[in-house]
Amino acid sequence: MDNLTHTLTAVALSHAGLHRKTRFATLTLIAAANLPDIDLVSRFWGSITYLKYHRGFTHSMLGVSLLALLLAWTIYFLGRKAKPKPGPPLSLRWLLILAWIGTASHLLMDFTNSYGVRPFLPFSARWYAWDIMFIFDPLLLLFLCLGLGLPMLLRLVSEEVGASKSHPAWGAVFSLCALLFLWGLRDVAHRRVLALLEAHTYFEQDPLRMGAFPSPLNPFAWTGVVDTGATYAVLPANALEGDVDPRSALQFRKPEASPALEAALKTRTGRIFMDFARFPWAQAEENDEGFDVQIRDLRFYTRFDSRAFLAEIEMDKALRARSESFSFGVPSHAAPGR
């Protein structure tokens, strides 16, 4: 998810009651909820390096636990030097708990979208993704803003008219309940769409595996990707409709094996991209200077951005790489720095 959503979720967790457990509780939760994205520094070494390390060890269960431990000790060490103020005392135990809640919330929320996480690093590099949430979800952001902002506005009005102060906890609880409701709604819709996709043949071939990927505003509108072995089918799907129409699918034929494609997949860019891609589709075109190989991950396919999650390797006639590049573009389901 985007960092604003991570931050507002941390604030909601704090205002729901956790801020009463220790001094610097809100600060700890906000810092912890964003800390796993420290892997953003890998972007300085290029986009393909960022693809390799983003949502890596800092987004694993072991990684978020170590980050939480480091953050809690840092805040405790610095907090002891701060002047005492009214409120709960500084507690290392609660700082550790809150730091872990914050980093774990980041891991869980990133798991909900199509980019996915690798929670078992360094022991397993397998990707896991729930595929139910858009990486920047306007509905979730709206619920968080309403739940956190409305009580603040009411409190200001109450103070102006001299009424008793409103308690902000109900707004934070509303935000967290709305988050869980949206997850549940999208999960039901996701399962429904997968069942619809599985019930058809595509280009006279049975589906071998499939995925359904969300749209940003409508929790019932999805993009289906179906792998038949020889080809991919990409088509719109709606969980509220009775069926999907296989005739509306775009066909992406898988390329035949070739020396140029094999050589491209052995390059650094090719290896990293193929370790990440779930529905890779490649094209190899010969030109005067050699070959141009392009590889896309169709779970991020969009007609509006031809460079969304695109790896491109240019090779000479001897099948040596002349250039390698990778572009995140502005894809439908993920973006860099999230």
What fold is seen in the domain 255-327? SHC Adaptor Protein (3.30.505)
Predicted local distance difference test score (pLDDT) of residue 224: 96
- Is the Cα dihedral 268, 270, 275, 277 positive or negative? positive
Nearby residues of 188 by Cβ (< 8 Å), 6 or more positions away? 239
∠ CA 109-112-115, nearest 5°, is 105
Query: Do 132 and 187 touch, CB atoms closer than 8 A?
Result: yes
**138-178 residue pLDDT tens:** 999 999 999 888 776 656 555 545 545 555 588 899 999 99
Q: Give CA separation, 23 vs 9, 19, 171, in Å.
A: 19, 7, 21
Distance, CA of 270 to CA of 259 (rounded, Å): 14
Predicted local distance difference test score (pLDDT) of residue 159: 53
Residue extents of the structural domains in the chain = 3-130, 255-327
Q: Virtual CA dihedral for 217, 221, 226, 231, nearest 10 degrees?
A: -80
Distance, CA of 71 to CA of 79 (rounded, Å): 12
Q: Which one, of 219, 169, 16, 211, lies nearest residue 105 by Cα?
A: 16
pLDDT tens over the chain, length 338 residues: 899 999 999 999 999 999 999 999 999 999 999 999 999 999 999 999 999 999 999 999 999 999 999 999 999 999 988 877 778 899 999 999 999 999 999 999 999 999 999 999 999 999 999 999 998 899 999 999 998 887 766 565 555 455 455 555 888 999 999 999 999 999 999 999 999 999 999 999 999 999 999 998 899 999 999 999 999 999 999 999 989 999 999 999 999 989 999 999 999 999 999 999 999 999 999 999 999 999 999 999 876 666 789 999 999 999 999 999 999 875 444 433 34
The string of DSSP letters for 155-212 reads HHHHHHHTPPPPPTHHHHHHHHHHHHHHHHHHHHHHHHHHHHHHTS-BTTB--SEEEE
pTM score of the predicted model: 0.89
Query: Do 172 and 12 touch, CB atoms closer than 8 A?
Result: yes
Q: Quick one: DSSP state of residue 313? A: E
Predicted local distance difference test score (pLDDT) of residue 331: 44
Predicted local distance difference test score (pLDDT) of residue 157: 52
Instruction: Describe the crossing of helices 138-161 and 169-198 by its angle, rounded to 10 degrees.
Output: 160
The residue behind tokens 């072991």 is 62
| Buried-state track 125-145, b at ≥16 Cβ within 10 A, e below 16 | eeeebbbbbbbbbebbeebbe
Count of residues for the chain? 338
Tokens of 190: 């996701």
